[in-house]
Amino acid sequence: MSWLRSASTSAGELVDVELAGGVIAQVIPATGLRGLCSENPGDEDLAGHVLLPSFAEPHAHLDKALTVSRAPNPAGDLLGAIQAMAGIADTLTHADTVARAERALRIHLALGTTAVRTHVNVGGPIGMRALEALIEVRERWRALIDVQLVALVSVPLSGQPGKDLRQALKEGADIAGGAPHLDPEPERAVGICLDAAGEAGVPLDLHTDETLNPGMLTLATMADLVSRTGFPHQVTASHCVSLGVQDAKTQQRVSEAVANANIAVVALPQTNLYLQGRAHPTATPRGLTAVGALRTAGATVAAGGDNLRDPFHPVGRGDALEVAALMVTAGHLTPGAALDSVTAAPRAALGLPPVSLSPGAPADLVALPAADALDALGAATEQRTVWRAGQVVARTTVHSSVANPQQLEGAAP
């Protein structure tokens, strides 16, 4: 049992939070007993800190993470990134993949993320090598981070990639994946992925319509098939960029179909703002899904970082608060809704129990210096304390020293 004393909630209220047995035991108004923290091991004085649910990353690529120096993408577009990764495929050994994935998880955990869903390439030149490496990582890190593995296969799904998908699910992937919009028969490809997931009894998470081409809208096909078949497992559509360039009526119709099918949508502002729109030098589209229409329709909209310093996004930081800030700036969400997109919404998309500052909730938390959630989102440093199941699993301290104006008086120009 331990206490987190004098913490600020997202609304700015001061509370004491008791942790016991990996969950939140009670939340009471702050008693001011901060001095007891030094006497009780495990207690924390969180005066001046906001306490939030820990972050969840709904869409990562741990098998590609931290390769940007080895795989440059001069074109800066999606095709260039794919080609760059293909060019270093023979260097992506088991040991290399494990080392980079674990380094990426340390970055995520230090910044407050305790759940990561990662897509992993299977089939083709890489075979099942990356999947085997990430299964090893998933098991080793199980006590610290929930890691979910999505089998990401190439195209055409009607050929060997479809067989690779089924094989990957047999070998330990948690979720069926793919990118049907890249397939010569996109609508058929959606059905193949759905069938594979259904046969294996696992969720489905597809790269969907990662293009500004308004003629590509496999999201609508996906919603229709999920509804008509009564697919019983969780379904997630990631990217959904082309929905953002549809007319308002189409956005509304498709968004309502997505909500009715209970499909969660993952927006990926960092990577899609980087990759998309390069063919539009004027009035450049944002390369972001129709966040507003989807939320109005009642769909779950989560947000993720996608790529961590690889050719798909060379400057990814692994910080959910940076993603949330972009959802404010580019997605026009309120700060509160943006924080929800990196906490509650992704946990729902990943099938994880919700976390809140209430009794019985999992004690997966993050504290950072701030007065409230808005302050945390607008001015957060890397200084964070992270709890997983009630135990501190990461702590980062930042110290800054800035000169006072008086110190410079009389100094030589």
CA distance 35 to 5: 9
DSSP H or E stretch at residue 107: helix 94-110
Dihedral angle, C-alpha 154, 158, 163, 166, nearest 10 °: 90
At 403, is the secondary structure helix, strand, or coil?
Answer: coil
Of 18, 44, 57, 210, the catalytic one is 210
DSSP H or E stretch at residue 386: strand 384-388
Verify whether residue 210 is a known catalytic residue.
yes
Q: Which residues pair with 45 in a beta bridge?
A: 5
At 109, is the secondary structure helix, strand, or coil?
Answer: helix
Which residues have C-beta within 8 Å of that of residue 404, sequence separation ≥ 6?
A: none
Please check whether residue 170 is in contact with residue 137, taking contact to mean a CB–CB distance below 8 angstroms: no
So which residues are the catalytic ones? Answer: 210
